[in-house]
Amino acid sequence: MKSFLALMAAAVLSACLLSGCGTKDIVKDVETVPTAAPEQDATAAPTTAPVVTDEPVAADTPVVTDAPARTEACTITVGVDTATITEAVDKAIAGDIIFVPKGIYSETVGIEKDGITFRGEEGTIFDGTDYDLTPDDNVVVWVKGNNIAVENIEIRNFIVEGPSDTCPIGIQVAKGSSNVTIRNCKVHDHGFIYDYTDDDDNYNAHGIYVSGGVNKQTTDILVEGCELYNLHLGSSESLVFNGNVVGFEAKDNYIHDCDNIGIDAIGYEQDEDNEKDAARNGKIHGNYVTNICSDPAVNPTYDSMCADGIYVDGGRDIEIYDNFVTNCDIGIEIASEHQGKVTSGINVHDNMLAWNNSWAGICVGGYDPEETGTARGCTVKNNTVYNTSSYCIVIQYACDASNVIEDNIFAAEGDGIAYGDEFEELSRGNTIRSNKMTIDMDGFGYPENERINVTGVTVDAESRTVTVEY
């Protein structure tokens, strides 16, 4: 009898442990079904289920064959309830928290289950020092699904020697996902080691990449409180919302010391003939973006310093506000890189910008009327822009009265210029009024602006303010 009870207890305990949440839950038919590799739009790390072998059982041994499936959500702690992160993902059900304790993890993970929170703590680090990314395994944390959160993890040292077809990505939200939050995560020292002796410029990397497909809309995405730095991106971006992404928010992030664009909302890169292929209905606010530069001496994919702190390239209906942008090649740009396509409905207001001296504090319109698109129905209002070189604001290919630039302070000192237009008539016809500027706008045909003389400027990174006295 004691032997029978011991065997019964062992079987029940085994079923409990396989549930992934300690010994309080029991799973049905103690068996693991392999998970198909996730559909990948920019390649991702496939998940593999652990192999379970059947042990021979004596004829008189009781077997648990129909234990009730776990229905209550719980916390699965990696290293306690499961041996690996992938095993924890395999065991999880909707509502579960997968907790990854502090430590160094040399692996990638794919999450393709709804309702999961993937949470680390201070010191939970995915380190790629001894991990070789490939074109088919290039994403450290890959998410596809609904109602998923990724929180408190650090990703570092996932480096590819280039040029390469491998695109290193720290965190990716795949096409068709919805209600996904990425919060308090770090991605740093990530991307490429450039080969300056090779003319091939096949370099693309991202810190956080949110993608939407023309037929797979991605909705309601929040990226909040993340830090991205020391990223070597080639032709790509630190934080990007690309394509059919609707209802996104980039909030309170700190992005610094990267060799290409800080935050980007892209349209028409996948299918320039489809209006769905555009990031839209978004908010970019409360971010601190600094030291973003595509210096060709560092990033060989560029021949000039033209990296934006914040960029909308073909997106629409996006609000950009309360950001602090300093020491970037371009502070904020609203344009379209695709000929005949329009960036529209962009509201840039109440931002503080300083020392974005390579090209401009704010830039409106495409860079070439013969090759790029334009901007319409955009507003630039209540911003403070201070430069000591290049333009505070420059109008490129944008010439429509629906573009309204008003109530801003454009203060230039040293070699700075408060205002410029690149293409004469193709840069004019916008509504520019009620701005305070260190230039006389009468010559440009905009007399409804006030010329000021600057007597003092204070740029305070701690309070994220730019104060201009005049």
* Average of per-residue pLDDT values in the chain: 89
pLDDT more than 90, % of the chain: 84
Give the whole-angstrom CA distance, residue 27 versus residue 76: 14
For 75-469, CATH gives 2.160.20
Tens-place pLDDT, residues 428-442: 999 999 999 999 999
What pLDDT is attached to residue 208?
Answer: 99
What pLDDT is attached to residue 29?
Answer: 32
What pLDDT is attached to residue 22?
Answer: 58
pLDDT greater than 80 at residue 120: yes
What pLDDT is attached to residue 206?
Answer: 99
Rounded mean pLDDT of 148-153? Answer: 99
Q: Place 59 in a pLDDT band, splitting at 50, 70 and 90.
A: very low
Tens-place pLDDT, residues 321-345: 999 999 999 999 999 999 999 999 9
What pLDDT is attached to residue 19?
Answer: 53
Q: Place 58 in a pLDDT band, splitting at 50, 70 and 90.
A: very low
